[in-house]
A and B are shown apart, each in its own frame.
Chain A
Amino acid sequence: MSADRETNLDMTHRDIALLLAEAADEVEIGIAPTQSVIRGGRRRRARRWAVAAATALVIAGTSGAVAVAGLPGGGDQGQVATQPSPSEERDLSAPYRTTLATGTDEGKEWSVFVDVWPTPRNEAEADTVWNALTEAHGTPPDAKVPSDLIGTVTYFVKRSYGGETSGVMENRIPATESMLGSDLQTAAIPLVPDTDGPQRLVIGQVAKTAQGVVCEWKDGTSTEVGRAGKGEEVSTDEELIRSAEGSPVDWFVCLAPKDTSHKEVLVRVLPLPEGAQKS
Chain B
Amino acid sequence: MGERTQERDEEFQHFVTGRWPRLMRTAFLLTGEQHAAEDLVQSTLEQVYVAWRRVGSADEPEAYVRRVMINAHARKHRRRLREFLAPKDDSGLVHEVADTGDRIAQADDRNALLKALAQLPPRQREAVVLRYWEDLTETQTAEAMGCSVGAVKSNAAKGIAKLRAIPGLAETVTYGGRMR
Give residues in A with beta carbon < 8 Å to B: 4, 7-11, 13, 15-30, 32-34, 36-38, 40-45, 48, 121, 144, 148, 150-152, 174-176
Contacts and interface: CB of A to CB of B under 8 A. Distances in A.
Given A18-B178, A26-B28, A37 B46 contact: yes
Given A18-B178, A151-B2, A34 B13 contact: yes
A28 B165 contact: no
A26 B46 contact: no
Contact of A23 (B38, B113, B165): B113
B29 A23 contact: yes
Interface in B157-176: 160, 163-165, 167, 169-174
10 smallest A-B Cβ distances: which pairs? Answer: A151-B1, A41-B49, A32-B20, A27-B28, A24-B25, A40-B46, A20-B133, A15-B173, A41-B46, A23-B113
Given A8-B165, A10-B173, 6 more contacts: A11-B170, A20-B132, A27-B24, A40-B42, A40-B43, A174-B1
Contacts of B52: 41
The A contact surface, by secondary structure, is helix
B63 to A, nearest CB: 18
Interface of B: 1-2, 4-5, 9, 12-13, 16-17, 20-21, 24-29, 34, 37-38, 42-43, 45-50, 52-54, 110-111, 113-114, 117, 128-129, 132-133, 135, 160, 163-165, 167, 169-174, 178
A144 B58 CA distance: 14
A24 B26 contact: yes
B27 to A, nearest CB: 8
Contact of B28 (A10, A24, A121): A24
B133 A24 contact: yes
Contacts of A176: 1-2
A17 B46 contact: no
Contacts of A18: 173, 178
Contacts of B49: 37-38, 40-42, 44-45
A8 B50 contact: no
B170 A7 contact: yes
A8 B29 CA distance: 22
A26 B133 contact: no
Contacts of B50: 41, 44-45, 48
Nearest to B53: A148
A20 B170 contact: no
A19 B117 CA distance: 11
A28 B132 CA distance: 21
B1 A26 contact: no
A7 B34 contact: no
Contacts of B45: 37, 41
A13 B17 contact: no
Contacts of B46: 37, 40-41, 43-44
B131 to A, nearest CB: 8
Contacts of B12: 34, 38
A38 B9 contact: yes
Contacts of A45: 49-50
Contacts of B16: 32, 34, 37
Nearest to A33: B42
14 contacts: A11-B163, A11-B170, A11-B174, A17-B135, A19-B169, A23-B29, A23-B110, A29-B25, A37-B16, A38-B12, A38-B49, A45-B50, A151-B2, A174-B5
Contacts of B132: 13, 16-17, 20
A27 to B, nearest CB: 4
B13 A10 contact: no
